[in-house]
Structure 1
Amino acid sequence: MRVSTTARRFRVSAFRVGWYQGAQARLVWRSERVPGREQRAPDLHPLTRTVRAGWRRTLTVDTEGWPEGAYLLRLDADEGHQRYVPVVVRSASGAGRTVLLHAPATWQAYNGWGGYSLYSGQDGGYQQRSTIVSFDRPYDGSGAEKFLVYERAAVVLAERLGIPLAYTTGIDVHRDPGVLRKATAVVVLGHDEYWTPRQRRELVRARDAGTNVAILGANTCFRRVRLETHGDEPGHRPGRSVVCYKSSFARDPSYPARPDLVTTDFRSGPGADPESSFTGVLYEGFPTDAPYVVHQPRHWLFEGTGVRQGQAFDHLVGVEYDRVTPTAPTPRRIEIVAHSPLRCNGERSHQDSAYYTVPSGAGVFATGTMRWVEALMAGTRDNGRNHAMDAATGAFVTRTTENLLRAFAEGPAARHRPQPRRNVEEVYGRS
């Protein structure tokens, strides 16, 4: 661990996130108090505007013997300041288990530490953004915003259910996809936007071998990225840079010789491959705030919720959303189970939650809203009225997610749950 601080001393505590008789984390390790020091200013690569801290090691955290899982390392300064570091102790195998897939490439894409992210530069503008971002720097803000907002509540729920779980990240699937082999399900968490082509291929391969896929967010598998090694300093680890040129794809060194590796949106050329062929839904817009409207109340996903057709849950659709788009590549056997009217940037549209199956028997469900994981704690003492979502919304999302995870943990969903009924033409009309 590399730390820069003005505090005289600090200590590190490691908490495993889960379900411990109602507590949502357990302390597994704590360091002694460590002398603090302020390390040197970060380096900035002028061409790609990549920030790297280049700090010296402060202490070593030995995770040997820690249970697989999602962890938060909390740094506490003697003066009272705190910062988090999210860590995944990954599983070697997911066989017979539900694999929780964490999204560090997306965490890093939005990370503005040092003044640059894949979205903006120091001037706050898009034109001065980074085209390559590095894991050799801290996360900004609390250090764990994306994990806390879009992942933690799903981990807590999955652990509470007691289903067999495994843990990994999208980057680790890219490096070693063996964790997906014979997994009963993969759960893609609330905001997982940045994927490598290999990661996507391996998830599709797992689906086609019978592994269910649950997508608990929106804007999933939207950006096509590469993992690269940059820097010459000793001990520099491979693949610690995320490359995404986005609209500047013509500057990508892979262009035009390797169109399949050019880092832009999956749906865009060169090498266009819209995410909807895998997810079933297509990302459409930002920002929105709208009620979530149930379309198929008798679907097995909604069992025990007591919902009626047309019943709405305020504010559950946002801040980004997906929909089934008939003109985009879409799995044939797909059923829209929620269909929510909305406005986004002045335009009328809809959000959809959708479920489909493939010949292997695997089922794929996409919530189509980025607030799904946030809603798991809506109305509770832990999250209050998040985005003004109330306790009824929290109860609905929690029961639906429980139904989903329990069903998917039983193996290929088409073998033990009703087949989806294609209703795209019924919902959107025939072209």
Structure 2
Amino acid sequence: MTIDPATEGPGPAITPRTRARARHILDHYYIGPARNAEVLEIWGYSDRMTYMPGDRVALHVSTTAETWDLEIGRDGVTYEPLYQIDGLPGRHHATPADCSVTGCGWPVEHSLTIPADWRPGGYLITFRARSGDDMVEEHHLILVRRASHLAAAPYLMVCATGTWVAYNCWGGSNAYEGIAGPEGNAYSPVLSLDRPWTRGFCKLPDGAPRALPDRPPRPGDMVRYPYMEWAYAYGYSKKFASAGWASYERHFARWAESEGYDVEMATLHDLHRDPSLIDRYRCLIFVGHDEYWSAEMRDAVDGYVDAGGRVARFAGNFLWQVRIEGEGRQQVCYKYAALDQDPLAGTSQAARVTGAWEAAPVSRPGCQTFGANALRGVYAGLGNCAGRGAGYSVYRPEHWAFAGTGLGYGDTLGTGSRVFGYEVDGLDLVFRDGLPFATGADGADPAIQVLAVGLAANVESDHGTWGETRYIGWDDAAFRAKVIDGADTPETRARAARGNGVMIHWKRGQGEVFNAATCEWVAGLLRRDPQVTRISKNVLDRFGAE
């Protein structure tokens, strides 16, 4: 695959020599420091994720170059460079081997005050270092919110930073693979925020593939995962398509801005620290891959909706409870090993164990917040997991969310734009007179309106293709069988291999929730799918009204 070197955003093109170096540094699944002063590199992170005008931003930077350049710009519909300084003195700092757990510990190399005229949004930070005619460029991201004394926007988009942290493989470990996890784990249950974001989380070239291929595979094709192939070829993290600003929130923010919606931004970690910050907004927006939350984050949203707030969720895979520790700079999630290794297991605080929301002892199904459950769904359109699926089937076309779409009963939504996947949330359903209803067996409120349904799978189909290696085996289905049915048997595992994804509307307390329950909704906005666009506008227009 050839990438146009004139990538969107600031800065000169990345040279082939730089990409070759990146591939050399990439150690199969993670990106990190070369720990070699002869390798030209630069990395950086900030002391916080979100700032307001007047706040001081501290940048922790390490580089092997003698000098480095800094550029900061607002990453909106058009990129606006707003701050640039060249020739900053370069210093290379030792990085602990377990930096993904304990943090990098680099000193502050540059700081700045957010000017009063910086508008709310995502701000791309570009670090550049040169040696002779060679150059490297890496990226970071911060959010800027409107000053608290000013009137709030109608909408607050809450970025899925719990997932960003969990998938960040910079330095060696994340919540999936790792070099620093405890013995017997292939991942680290403790992850630090004091490290750079991995390559691809903050900025991507035009043409970078999404988690779902643009078109379903043809019958007989060997299963492939183009986004991983691309990542390995060009020196990006293979998790770039699963998390981060560049793949998800950025696209929704740019679309909303282009349509005239006034949207401010915050992070889930902001919400954990200050639950009251959401009270001044009419509508909360969640986008993309929204997998990891703390109980405090969730409590805040539950209280907000019960009190009359509205939630527009264009996201999927609401699965794991986390804890935020270490003065807010560490995220903890033991996941599958929670009952064996989480220190809170078996204590009076067992409900705070960092396992799946639907699993004991947490036993707080996601449907009680967003109207759908992760373990009733999961994979759609990924590899051979419903890889040739059509998207949603519409069942209640008379609902206001479908106004102006031209959709009728039984029509499919998002087939061409590939919005359904790569992970979706579902419900235990029963069909009566051709309409789906929530049974409530999984903790869902039977009053939830199920607007559309698609099919998902937790195991990749085996079509007998010689030489094929599939990515999704039986582990997810076995885990789901234990959680939902209490045991992993051939019968329960077969049941657990099947799932669904739902689009729902739910009037809860004094407020209401719309949930598309899919990670890839933004793909429909990127590809200008008129029906996906119309539904998005219908939801925002209704939920943002006074």
Aligned 8 A contact 2:290 2:317 in 1: yes
Question: How far does residue 215 in structure 1 lie from its aligned partner after superposition?
Answer: 1.0
Q: What is the Cα-based RMSD across aligned positions, in Å?
A: 2.4
Task: Tell me: CA distance 1:256–1:213, structure 2 relative to 1, closer, same or farther (3 Å).
Answer: same
**Residue among 245, 250, 254 paired with 1:152:** 250
Shift of 1:122: 3.1
Deviation of 1:92 after TM superposition, in Å, equals 5.8
Aligned-pair CA distance for 1:29: 1.8
Given candidates 112, 117, 121, the residue that maps to 1:61 is: 112
Which residue of structure 2 aligns with residue 356 of structure 1?
Answer: 506
Structure-1 separation of matches of 2:197 and 2:498: 36
1:254 counterpart residue number: 344
Match of 1:195 in 2: 293
Over residues 212-235 of structure 1, what are the superposed CA-to-partner deviations in whole Å (9 max), with x where a residue is unaligned? 001111112x21111111xxxxxx
SS in 2 for 1:198: helix
The yes-or-no answer on 1:214 pairing with 2:328 is no
Cα distance in 2 between the residues matched to 1:6 and 1:396: 50
Partner of 1:401 in structure 2?
536
* Distance change in 2, residues 1:322/1:84 (3 Å): same
Equivalence map 1:21-40=2 (5 Å):
23=78, 25-40=79-94
SS in structure 2 of the partner of residue 39 of structure 1 = coil
CA distance in 1, matches of 2:401, 2:60: 45
- Find the counterpart in structure 2 of residue 370 from structure 1: 519
Deviations 1:357-381 (A, max 9, x none): 1241x22011121110233102xxx
Tell whether the 8 Å contact from 1:110 to 1:119 is kept in structure 2 after alignment. yes
Which residue identity does 1:105 align to in structure 2? G
- Pick aligned residue for 2:450 from 329, 336, 339: 336
Partner residue, 1:99: 156
Find the aligned partners of 1:406 and 1:73 in 2 and give their Cα distance: 32
Which residues of 2 match residues 82-231 of structure 1 at below 5 A?
Answer: 82-91=137-146, 97-122=154-179, 127-144=185-202, 145=240, 146-220=244-318, 222-229=319-326
Change (3 A) 1:8 1:303: farther
SS of residue paired to 2:536? helix
1:122 aligned partner, one-letter code: I
Residue of structure 2 in register with 1:279 after alignment: 370
Q: What is the TM-score normalised by the length of structure 1?
A: 0.82
CA distance in 1, matches of 2:89, 2:109: 9
Does structure 1 conserve the Cα–Cα contact (< 8 Å) formed by 2:119 and 2:144?
A: yes
Contact 2:158–2:265 (CA under 8 A) maintained in structure 1: yes
Letter in 2 for 1:408: F
Is the 1:101–1:170 Cα contact (8 Å) retained in structure 2? yes
Instruction: Give yes or no for contact 1:100–1:168 (8 Å, CA) kept in 2.
Output: yes
Q: Distance in 2 between matches of 1:256 and 1:348?
A: 32
1:319 aligns with 2:422: yes
> Is 1:241 aligned to 2:330, yes or no?
yes
The secondary structure found in structure 2 opposite 1:352 is strand
| In 1: Cα distance, 2:332 partner to 2:350 partner | 15
Task: Give 1:243's aligned amino acid.
Answer: V
Q: Give the partner amino acid of 1:320.
A: E
Q: CA-to-partner distance for each residue in 1:141-171, whole Å, 9 max, x for gaps?
A: 2342411111111111222333343321111
The alignment covers a number of residue pairs equal to: 380
Distance (whole Å) between structure 2 residues aligned to residue 225 and residue 71 of structure 1: 27
1:95 deviates by 5.2
Q: Which amino acid aligns with 2:107?
A: R
Counterpart amino acid of residue 353 in structure 2 = V
Deviation at 1:126, TM superposition (A): 7.8
Aligned identity (percent) is 28
CA distance in 1, matches of 2:324, 2:96: 21
CA deviation vs aligned residue, 1:320-378 (integer Å, no higher than 9, x gap): 11112232111232111111234442444432111111241x22011121110233102
Deviation at 1:307, TM superposition (A): 2.2
- 2:409 aligns to what? 309
Instruction: Give the conservation status (yes or no) of the 8 Å contact 1:14–1:73.
Output: yes
C-alpha distance in structure 2 between counterparts of 1:102 and 1:353, whole Å? 21
The TM-score with structure 2 as length reference comes to 0.65
Alpha-carbon distance between aligned partners in 2 of 1:153 and 1:340, rounded to the nearest angstrom: 24
Q: 1:426 — aligned with what?
A: none
